[in-house]
């Protein structure tokens, strides 16, 4: 099952999963980089301040071994001397320890960045299960970590043995020289050995940093089911949202059709598009589209208009232009003011003629529509889905 699950996780981790893993304390960290940084920092401190450190330690030793009979007679003398020597030693070693801590923290930040969380400190009782521990120990990651540790120890041991072998005679000869000269010479030999060990650690860190990054990204990979579940968590259930949008479109359609009987006229093309217009002088700056539709919806608008005795005009170019460029419950585009004014004037004249009975009926207008507003002049144009209810 574990192998199958690993095979299913073939998608890269999303930003949300990476953020969640960082909140849980899972970040790519290299153990070799802090070792290298601390060794280099410690070597730099010893190289720059070695003589001063040795001198302070010598003074501390001299002070600690200096006493007389009157001091020994005091019962609290040893306790006081021990406290004084501890404070003096801490004053010497404190800065060195501080530099090592800064180097360790900076190297960890360089490999994984700043990440503050308390979750890794929470007790995990699953770690108390010996079977789980054995499983982690003999897993591929556990085996790789152990192999890397053994290889690092072997390399460092070989380097250390080679350094000791080449300088063994020199270390033996130190015992024949005065103590200050012996300490200075021992410090030089120590710095040479640390330099070789630092080179070995640098090679391991250069390999381990990108390796840990790749292993972490591999552990963060997601399966398709996890990706789908995350999308649902972020965007909500897609099926429910689709149903809500469909419900809203249906409600908007009903409201739009209910407004058709209040229209002044309906412009059609002749069955593909229908646009219902309304204009109230003094209340509207320009005619407004109160309903529009294509195909079956256009026929529905036409039928409602005829039932409500709303004039229906066959104006194909104007109908196409209005459908393509006007929005429901919005005023018509300024470029179509003239064409719409002509058809409205025709409707008003027609109503007046019908009221007068014997008055001649006006001629059907042929309004001019700018060619660039006719969607049929744009190759490949098709009405967008749900365009009628975009607003």
Model pLDDT for residues 99-155, shown as the tens digit of each residue? 888 888 888 777 776 766 666 666 666 666 666 655 665 566 666 677 777 887 888
Residue 379 three-state SS: coil
Please answer whether residues 357 and 338 qualify as being in contact, where contact means their C-beta atoms are separated by less than 8 angstroms. Answer: no
3-state secondary structure 286-306: CCEEEEEEECHHHHHHHHHHH
pTM score of the predicted model: 0.45
Q: Which residue has the higher pLDDT, 265 or 245?
A: 265
Nearest to 145 by CA among 204, 225, 62, 83: 204
Give the pLDDT of residue 1.
Answer: 43
For 164, 202, 251, the CA distances from 152, given in Å and listed in that order, are 18, 11, 71
> What pLDDT is recorded for position 391?
40
Cα separation, 227 vs 95, in Å, equals 50
Q: Of the given ranges (82-91, 131-140, 344-353), which has the lowest mean pLDDT?
A: 131-140
Q: Which CATH class is domain 248-389?
A: alpha beta
Q: What is the pLDDT of residue 132?
A: 62
| Pairwise CA distance, residues 37 & 6, whole Å | 35
HEC assignment per residue over 51-69: HHHHHHHHHHHHHHHCCCH
CB within 8 A of 9, min separation 6: which ones? Answer: 221, 222, 223, 226
pLDDT value at 18 more than 50: yes
Dihedral sign for Cα atoms in the order 151, 156, 106, 123: positive
Query: Domain locations in the chain?
Result: 27-113+125-219, 248-389
pLDDT at 235: 63
Query: What is the pLDDT, as a whole number, of residue 137?
Result: 58
């Amino acid at each position: 099952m574990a192998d199958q699950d690993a095979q299913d996780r073939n998608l890269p981790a999303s930003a949300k999963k990476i953020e969640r893993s960082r909140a849980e304390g899972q970040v790519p960290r290299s153990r070799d980089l802090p070792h290298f940084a601390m060794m280099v920092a410690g070597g730099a401190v010893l190289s720059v301040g070695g003589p001063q450190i040795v001198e302070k330690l010598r003074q501390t030793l001299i002070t600690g071994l200096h006493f007389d009979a009157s001091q020994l007679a005091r019962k609290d003398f040893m306790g006081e001397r021990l406290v004084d020597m501890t404070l003096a030693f801490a004053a010497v070693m404190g800065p060195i320890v501080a530099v090592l801590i800064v180097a360790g923290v900076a190297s960890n930040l360089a490999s994984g960045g700043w990440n503050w969380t308390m979750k890794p400190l929470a007790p995990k009782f699953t770690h108390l299960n010996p079977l789980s521990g054995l499983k982690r120990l003999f897993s591929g990651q556990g085996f790789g970590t152990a192999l890397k540790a053994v290889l690092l120890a072997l390399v460092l041991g070989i380097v250390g043995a080679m350094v000791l072998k080449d300088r063994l005679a020199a270390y033996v000869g130190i015992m024949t020289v005065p103590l200050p000269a012996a300490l200075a010479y021992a410090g030089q030999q120590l710095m040479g050995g640390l330099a070789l060990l630092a080179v070995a650690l640098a090679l391991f860190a250069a390999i381990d940093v990108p390796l840990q990054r790749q292993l972490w990204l591999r552990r963060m990979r997601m399966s398709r089911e996890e990706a789908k579940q995350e999308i649902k968590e972020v965007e909500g259930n897609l099926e429910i949202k689709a149903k809500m949008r469909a419900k809203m479109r249906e409600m908007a359609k009903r409201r739009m059709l209910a407004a058709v009987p209040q229209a002044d006229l309906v412009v059609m093309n002749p069955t593909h598009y229908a646009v219902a217009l309304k204009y109230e002088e003094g209340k509207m700056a320009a005619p407004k589209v109160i309903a529009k539709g294509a195909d079956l919806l256009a026929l529905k608008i036409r039928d409602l208009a005829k039932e409500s005795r709303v004039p229906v005009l066959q104006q194909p170019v104007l109908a196409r232009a209005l459908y393509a460029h006007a929005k429901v419950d919005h005023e018509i585009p300024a470029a179509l003011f003239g064409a719409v004014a002509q058809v409205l004037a025709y409707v008003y004249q027609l109503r007046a003629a019908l009221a007068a009975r014997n008055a001649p009926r006006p001629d059907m207008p042929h309004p001019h529509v700018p060619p660039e507003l006719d969607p049929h002049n744009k190759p490949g144009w098709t009405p967008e889905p749900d365009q009628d209810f975009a607003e």
